[in-house]
Amino acid sequence: MPASSRIEQALDRAVALAELGAPPLLAGALRYAVFPGGHRIRPSLCLAVAKACGDPDPEAADGAAAAVELLHCASLIHDDLPCFDDAKLRRGKSSVHVQYGEPIAVLTGDALIVLAFETLARATRANPSRLSPLVFIVARAVGAPHGIVAGQAWESETAVPLTDYQRAKTGALFVGATRAGAAAAGFDPTLWGTLGDKIGEAFQVADDLRDVLCDAQELGKPIGQDAAHHRPNAAALLGIGGAKARLEELVRAAVESIPDCPGADSLRTLIKAQVAQLFPKQLSQAAA
Amino acid sequence: MPASSRIEQALDRAVALAELGAPPLLAGALRYAVFPGGHRIRPSLCLAVAKACGDPDPEAADGAAAAVELLHCASLIHDDLPCFDDAKLRRGKSSVHVQYGEPIAVLTGDALIVLAFETLARATRANPSRLSPLVFIVARAVGAPHGIVAGQAWESETAVPLTDYQRAKTGALFVGATRAGAAAAGFDPTLWGTLGDKIGEAFQVADDLRDVLCDAQELGKPIGQDAAHHRPNAAALLGIGGAKARLEELVRAAVESIPDCPGADSLRTLIKAQVAQLFPKQLSQAAA
Give residue-wise pLDDT tens across range A216-226: 666 667 777 77
CA–CA min distance A251, chain B (Å): 28
In tens digits, chain B (288 residues) has pLDDT values of: 899 999 999 999 999 999 999 999 999 999 999 999 999 999 999 999 999 999 999 999 999 999 999 999 999 999 999 999 999 999 999 999 999 999 999 999 999 999 999 999 999 999 999 999 999 999 999 999 999 999 999 999 998 888 888 889 889 999 999 999 999 999 999 999 999 999 999 988 888 888 888 766 666 777 777 777 777 788 888 888 899 899 999 999 999 999 999 999 999 999 888 877 777 776 655 443
Q: In this structure, what DSSP letter does residue A20 have? A: T
Domain count, chain A: 1
Interchain contact, A139 vs B131, CB within 8 Å: no
Query: What whole-number distance in Å separates Cα of residue A182 and Cα of residue A48?
Result: 9
Query: What whole-number distance in Å separates Cα of residue A141 and Cα of residue A169?
Result: 9
Cα–Cα distances (Å) from B83 to A107, B106, B156, B222, in that order, read 11, 11, 11, 16
Query: What whole-number distance in Å separates Cα of residue B101 and Cα of residue A81?
Result: 14
B23 phi, psi to nearest 5 deg: -55, 135
Nearest to B157 among A19, A25, A109 (CB): A25
Nearest to B149 among A21, A111, A118 (CB): A111
CA angle, residues B57, B58, B64, in degrees to nearest 5? 95
CB pairs under 8 A between A and B: 191
Query: What whole-number distance in Å separates Cα of residue A201 and Cα of residue A143?
Result: 19
Q: In this structure, what DSSP letter does residue B174 have? A: H
Interchain contact, B107 vs A27, CB within 8 Å: no
A135 touches chain B (CB under 8 A): yes
Residue range of the domain that includes A272: 3-287
CA–CA min distance A266, chain B (Å): 33
Query: What whole-number distance in Å separates Cα of residue B100 and Cα of residue B114?
Result: 20
A83 touches chain B (CB under 8 A): yes
A106 touches chain B (CB under 8 A): yes
Nearest to A132 among B114, B124, B136 (CB): B124
Is-above-0.90 flag for pTM?
A: yes
In sequence order, the 6+-apart residues with CB closer than 8 A to the CB of A248 are: none
Query: What whole-number distance in Å separates Cα of residue A177 and Cα of residue A189?
Result: 10
Query: What whole-number distance in Å separates Cα of residue A109 and Cα of residue A113?
Result: 6
For an interface test with B, which of A81, A156, A157, A163 has the most B Cβ atoms less than 10 Å from its Cβ? A156
Per residue in B198-222, pLDDT (tens digit) is: 999 998 888 888 888 876 666 677 7
Interchain contact, B107 vs A149, CB within 8 Å: yes
Residue A36 preceded by cis peptide, ω within 30: yes
Provide, as residue numbers in chain A, all residues whose Cβ is less than 8 Å from the Cβ of B180: none
User: CATH no. for residue B107?
Assistant: 1.10.600.10
Q: Residue B41: enclosing H or E segment and its boundaries?
A: helix B41-52
In sequence order, the 6+-apart residues with CB closer than 8 A to the CB of A259 are: A191, A192
Q: Which long-range contacts (CB under 8 A, 24 or more apart) does B218-227 make?
A: B218/B281, B220/B38, B220/B89, B220/B90, B220/B91, B220/B92, B221/B87, B221/B89, B221/B90, B221/B91, B221/B92, B222/B87, B222/B88, B222/B89, B225/B85, B225/B87
Provide, as residue numbers in chain B, all residues whose Cβ is less than 8 Å from the Cβ of A122: 136
B101 touches chain A (CB under 8 A): yes
B113 touches chain A (CB under 8 A): yes
Provide, as residue numbers in chain A, all residues whose Cβ is less than 8 Å from the Cβ of B153: 22-23, 25-26, 103-104, 107
